C-alpha cells in the first residue's frame, strides 16, 4: 500500500472517530458553541512572547 493511500485511510478513520466522539458528546447532553471569527481564547497579551528553549546555567 502506498503512503498516499495510507494517509487517506488514516484521514477517513480520523473523521469517523471524530464523528463518533461528537455524536457521543451530543447524546450525553453536551452542547456545541459556535465562536465568531476573530475571537480568541487568549486571555492575556502581556508578558514575553518569545519561547525560551533552554537556559545557559551559570555553573
User: How confident is residue 41, by pLDDT bands cut at 50, 70 and 90?
Assistant: confident
Inter-CA distances, 55 with 34, 43, 48, 52, Å: 41, 27, 15, 7
Q: Averaged over 20-29, what is the pLDDT?
A: 96
- Look up cell 463518533; give the residue: 20
pLDDT of residue 58: 60
Interatomic CA distance for residues 56 and 59, integer angstroms: 9
Question: For the whole model, what pTM was predicted?
Answer: 0.47
Q: Averaged over 36-59, what is the pLDDT?
A: 75
Residue 3, exposed/middle/buried by CB under 10 A (0-12, 13-18, 19+)? exposed
User: How confident is residue 25, by pLDDT bands cut at 50, 70 and 90?
Assistant: very high
Amino acid at each position: 500500500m502506498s503512503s498516499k493511500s495510507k494517509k487517506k485511510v488514516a484521514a477517513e478513520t480520523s473523521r469517523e472517530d471524530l464523528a463518533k466522539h461528537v455524536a457521543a458528546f451530543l447524546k450525553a447532553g453536551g452542547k456545541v458553541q459556535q465562536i465568531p471569527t476573530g475571537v480568541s481564547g487568549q486571555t492575556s497579551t502581556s508578558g514575553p512572547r518569545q519561547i525560551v528553549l533552554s537556559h545557559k546555567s551559570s555553573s
